[in-house]
Amino acid sequence: MALLQIAEPGQSPQPHQRRLAVGIDLGTTNSLVAALRSGLSEPLPDADGQVILPSAVRYHADRTEVGESARLAASADPLNTVLSVKRLMGRGLSDVKQLGDQLPYRFVGGESHMPFIDTVQGPKSPVEVSADILKVLRQRAETTLGGELVGAVITVPAYFDDAQRQATKDAAKLAGLNVLRLLNEPTAAAVAYGLDQHAEGLVAIYDLGGGTFDISILRLTGGVFEVLATGGDSALGGDDFDHAIAGWMITRAGLSADLDPGAQRKLLQTACAAKEALTDAASVEVSYGSWSAQLTREAFDALIEPMVARSLKACRRAVRDSGIELEDVGAVVMVGGSTRVPRVREAVAEAFGRQPLTEIDPDQVVAIGAAIQADTLAGNKRDGGELLLLDVIPLSLGLETMGGLMEKVIPRNTTIPVARAQDFTTYKDGQTAMMIHVLQGERELISDCRSLARFELRGIPAMVAGAAKIRVTFQVDADGLLSVAARELGSGVEASIQVKPSYGLTDGEIAKMLKDSFQYASDDKVARVLREQQVDAQRLLEAVQGALEADGERLLDAEERLVIDLQMQELAQLMKGTDGYAIEQQTKRLSHVTDAFAARRMNQTVKAALAGRNLNEIEE
Amino acid sequence: MGTPCHFALFELQPSFRLDLDQLATRYRELARGVHPDRFADASEREQRLALEQSASLNEAYQTLKSPPKRARYLLAMGGRELPMEVTVHDPDFLMQQMQWREELEDLQDEADLAGVAVFKRRLKVAQDELNESFAACWDDAAQREQAERLMRRMQFLDKLTYEVRQLEERLDD
């Protein structure tokens, strides 16, 4: 199948009237933005012609750096450079603590349970970090397309749970993007390949990215893309291939497994380069320090075999869930950079008994598909011939029942949107309240499932046990986001919750971020600029104040401290006025006099980090 | 059931015998009309409406597509109270149930994948026969009690199919 040119008779003469919408692939390693231009969906390049934006954000005291330069600075400035933030999205502080040894960041708890990364620019939530990546892509799109965007389709792994989806949507909002839809990555890839309206039949999308693996089975019928089943492994990706090679190097070279972060990073970079070289070469020389050896493709294949096998197992499960047989699958589409590995292609071909499709760049195919869907959703095609995507929920949704068990209300692979109700009753005489605990997962025990939310239905009239009838309704919208309502049928007492997952942000946190991100700034340009200058100044003041409280005594002598205090007072004074230029100048001055202090603090934290932590697995 | 009858939604007469291809085609046509993607730039009210309508359409489709769910829905339409879990007097089938389960346990103990495949085929045949019996029985209004019994059997086989799938998954480890 080839990517079809979308010709739009009767619409093309006025391209300027098109409503601008983009597709964004917010990836673990790399991010892209794509749009429909002259009827063709393509990724948008930056000023240097690069379409891929590494998902790396480095925080400086006074600015934020996103992309390749930030990625390159990661080993020099690990505490303020955030990589692979996607892995932290929608995760709680406790989840992240489990990864603790592998992450170089210092986490601080927010108002909610979401982890904040302590940077020189202040604490940053994963949502904010993602928003910073999205802002760059939004800017790129608006510059390239020459106008403001109506909205964007943001892709997420099909296997993302409710918390991860909600976090992604929050990030987009924070970046000032109107989210037309959260779209599952495999579905987006299917759109890119299958836009050709003649494509019919069953298609498998094998999506092996840097950190996650997704498999989806779809039925294509006359422009309708019906997802039959989706599955995957949220902890399986190309990064694991790098780790396998790195492990091989450690053994072969007789290195200590307990390497410092810098050495770890270097090892992984070498491993990643070897992996990439083996896509075309039969053998590659790997070296580390004075040690070097040949890694053959055969040996590499053997190293990754367990991971490839795991992915195929997920494929078989998805096929079973679809109620079809492997032979029924008419086409297999490859998505994600890791599908460039020859062994992966070969194994997938063997499993499905056919050569997988690889015509569209596996790094770009998701963004390309998302852009096509964004264009449709923005209302650019209304001739009835557009495609329709019918997606499913990847994981079962349910409630906690007696004995710590999870009762499924909506099983996995149910087509969305969906609404379903289940009735419960009280178990004690005179019980007037009931705790509703919403869960997501496939396991029986609630401790093995993800807790999404808890809320209480109060005011149930006192009755004997079992007499009250409480109807709990689950509703999942087209973005895969859940809301839950509970109602006592006799009295009509109600309680409901838009599942703001336990790992989401509180409204207070969101309000503050929105304020920080200038979304509500007035259209008046001068006022807007002034606000930005004031906010910048405020941010710097807070950062310096915090730093002084933490390390001022230790790292500054009296004279240095006095200079900083004076410049701070001056800035605080100017901020009360409306002289934007003066505020800007004074902000720079304060930033300048605190440079040395910031450098000393950085050294300290880096030293502390190198002493106690392990950089294992964080690198891409 | 509140909302319009599932069958009416698809412009079908209530019946157990359904042309599933036709049902799927109608479903896609209807989904095109009400899916929230159609209303991505519409007012909040319209979006909510699209969400609700799509959800009921999906529910109706899921119900009609599955023979046991369809059978249950038909019986409920006829006003029968149908609690999910009941002990139905059906000794013949009870024996058969025990047999099925024992076989499945043996297959698990022996990790017999080929045996599971044979079991699946037999299960499919049994389901097809049962569907046929229900269809015939449903045409005769005097046989409602028997119809309910058959529906419970269908539900059991459906559950068994799910268990076979789980077994396949375990054996795949």
Q: If you average pLDDT over every residue of chain A, what do you get?
A: 83
Residue B153 is assigned to a structural domain of this protein: yes
**Alpha carbons A469 and A490: distance in angstroms, whole number:** 7
pLDDT in tens, A192-215: 987 665 678 999 999 998 878 999
Q: Does A420 touch chain B (CB under 8 A)?
A: yes
Residue B103 lies in a domain: yes
Structure tokens at A302: 């053997």
| Strand A179-184 relative to strand A151-156, pairing | parallel
Of A343-347, A384-388, A558-562, which range is least confident? Answer: A384-388
- Residues of A noted as catalytic: 25, 86, 185, 207
- Is A180 close to B168, i.e. CB distance below 8 A? no
Q: At residue A166, does pLDDT exceed 80?
A: yes
Phi/psi of residue A408, nearest 5 degrees:
-75, 130
- Distances from the Cα of A53 to the Cα of A85, A168, A350, A441, A483, angstroms: 14, 17, 34, 33, 34
| pLDDT on residue A429 | 87
pTM summary value: 0.76
Q: How many domains does chain B divide into?
A: 2
Q: Is A525 exposed, middle or buried (0-12, 13-18, 19+ CB in 10 A)?
A: exposed
What per-residue confidence (pLDDT) applies to A112?
Answer: 55
- Rounded to the nearest 10°, the torsion over CA A499, A504, A506, A511 is -110
- The answer for B 40-69 residues in CB contact with A (under 8 A) is 40-41, 51-52, 54-56, 58-59, 61-62
What is d(CA A145, CA A37) in angstroms, rounded to the nearest whole number? 9
Order the strands of the A397-401 sheet from edge to edge: A405-410, A397-401, A434-440, A450-457
A172 touches A134 (CB < 8 A): yes
Phi-psi region at A247: left, alpha or beta (left = phi > 0; alpha = psi -120 to 50): alpha
* Range with the poorest average pLDDT among A182-186, A604-608, B94-98, B162-166: A604-608
Reported as a single tens digit per residue, the pLDDT across A43-67 is 999 999 999 999 999 999 999 999 9
Look at residue A591 in the predicted model and tell me its pLDDT.
84
Q: Is the pLDDT of residue A614 over 60?
A: no
CB atoms within 10 A of CB A9: 7
Q: What are phi and psi of A176, to 5 degrees?
A: 80, 20
The whole-number pLDDT of residue A254 equals 86
Q: Which among B108, B86, B123, B85 is positioned nearest to B169, based on CA atoms? A: B108
Write the DSSP assignment of A266-292 as a string of letters.
Answer: HHHHHHHHHHHHTTT-SEEEEEETTEE
How near does any CA of chain A get to the CA of B7, in Å?
A: 18
pLDDT value at A610 more than 50? no
A590-603 pLDDT per residue, tens: 888 888 887 787 66
A197, A224, A315, best to mutate vs chain B, most B CBs in 10 Å: A224
Q: Which of A100-104, A563-567, B21-25, B27-31 has the least mean pLDDT?
A: A100-104
Residue in A320, A381, A382 to test binding to B, most B beta-carbons within 10 Å: A320
Least confident of A102-106, A421-425, B25-29, B74-78: A102-106
Left if phi > 0, otherwise alpha if psi is -120 to 50, otherwise beta: which for B2? left
Q: How much is the average pLDDT of A572-598?
A: 85
Tell me which of 1.10.1200.10, 3.20.20.70, 3.30.70.3340, 2.60.34.10 is the CATH number of domain A393-504: 2.60.34.10
Same domain, B51 and B10: yes
> Does B105 share its domain with B44?
no
Question: Taking residues A63-81, what's their average pLDDT?
Answer: 89
What domain range is B94 assigned to? 89-170
**What backbone phi and psi angles, to 5 degrees, belong to B37?**
-60, -30
B91 Cβ contact partners less than 8 Å away, ≥ 6 residues apart: none
User: Is B40 within 8 Å of A417 when comparing Cβ atoms?
Assistant: no
- The pLDDT of B118-128, averaged and rounded, is 94
CA of A612: how far to CAs of A101, A285, B138, in Å?
Answer: 9, 32, 72
In-domain check, residue B102: yes
* pLDDT score of A136 more than 90: yes
Domains of chain A by residue range: 19-236+300-389, 393-504, 518-608
Q: What is the helix (H) or strand (E) element at residue A473, kind and residue range?
A: strand A470-476
* Dihedral pair phi/psi, residue A353, rounded to 5°: 65, 30
CA B100 to chain centre: 20
Contacts of A389 in chain B (CB under 8 A): 37
Residue B130 forms part of a structural domain: yes
Q: Which of A343, A348, A347 is nearest to A333 (CA)?
A: A348
- Pick the residue with more confidence: A54 or A581? A54
Q: Report whether pLDDT(A27) > 60.
A: yes
pLDDT digits (tens, 9 = 90+) for A378-393: 877 645 457 888 999 9
pLDDT band at A188 (very low <50, low <70, confident <90, very high): very high
B16 with B56, same domain: the answer is: yes
Using CB atoms within 10 Å of the CB of residue B14, give its burial: 0 to 12 exposed, 13 to 18 middle, 19+ buried: middle
- Neighbouring-strand partners of residue A286: A293
Tell me: pLDDT of A12 over 70.
Answer: no
What CATH number did the domain enclosing B23 receive? Answer: 1.10.287.110
B98 & B150 share domain = yes
Judged against a pLDDT cut of 50, whether residue A190 lies above it is answered with: yes
Would you place residue A6 in the very low, low, confident or very high pLDDT band (cuts 50, 70, 90)? Answer: very low
Whole-angstrom CA distances from B27 to A218, B10, B19 are: 16, 7, 12
Within 154-183 of A, beta carbons closer than 8 Å to B belong to 180-181
Pick the CATH number of A19-236+300-389 from 3.90.420.10, 3.30.420.40, 3.30.56.10, 3.40.50.11030: 3.30.420.40
Of the pLDDT bands very low, low, confident and very high (cuts 50, 70, 90), residue A514 is: very low
Q: Could you read off the pLDDT of A308-338 as tens digits, one per residue?
A: 999 999 999 999 999 898 899 999 999 999 9
Take residue A538 and report the two structure tokens written for it: 């405020």
pLDDT digits 0-9 by tens, A91-111:
877 666 655 445 667 777 655
pLDDT exceeds cutoff 90 at A244: yes
User: What's the whole-number average pLDDT of chain B?
Assistant: 87
Where does A518-608 sit in CATH, by number? Answer: 1.20.1270.10
In a domain? residue B70:
no
Q: What does the pLDDT read at residue A331?
A: 92
- Residue A615 and residue A260: Cα distance in Å, rounded? 7
CB contact under 8 A, A388 and B32: yes
What does the pLDDT read at residue B57?
93
Q: Which residue in B24, B55, B165 is closest to A417 by CB distance?
A: B55
Buried-state track A311-330, b at ≥16 Cβ within 10 A, e below 16: bbbbbbbbbbbbebeeeebe
Percent of chain A with pLDDT over 90: 40
Q: Which of A163-172, A252-261, A494-503, B77-86 has the lowest mean pLDDT?
A: A494-503
Lowest pLDDT segment from A116-125, A187-196, A276-285, A292-301:
A187-196
Inter-chain CB proximity B28 and A221 less than 8 Å: yes
Q: What pLDDT sits at residue A362?
A: 94
The reported pLDDT for the residue numbered A381 is 66
Distance CA A86, CA A325 (A): 34
- Regarding whether B108 and B51 lie in a shared domain, the answer is no
CATH number at residue B142: 1.20.1280.20
Residue A21 has pLDDT above 70, yes or no: yes
What pLDDT, on a 0 to 100 scale, did the predictor assign at position A445?
Answer: 82
Q: Is the bond into A417 cis (omega within 30 degrees of 0)?
A: yes
Percent of chain A whose pLDDT exceeds 70: 84
Which range has the worst mean pLDDT, A20-29, A65-74, A457-466?
Answer: A457-466
Tell me which residue of A71, A97, A94, A72 sits closest to A84, measured CA to CA. A71
Predicted confidence (pLDDT) at residue A10 exceeds the cutoff of 80 = no
Q: For residue B26, is it within any domain?
A: yes
Backbone angles phi and psi of A204, in degrees to 5: -110, 135
In sequence order, what are the residues at sequence separation of 6 or more whose Cβ sits closer than 8 angstroms to the Cβ of residue A92? A113, A114, A115, A502, A503
Q: Say if residue B8 is in the same domain as residue B55.
A: yes
Q: Where among B64, B79, B111 does a domain terminate?
A: B64
φ and ψ of A127, to 5 deg: -65, -45
Q: Tell me what the mean pLDDT of segment A58-77 comes to.
A: 91
- Distance (Å) from the alpha carbon of A313 to chain B's nearest alpha carbon: 7
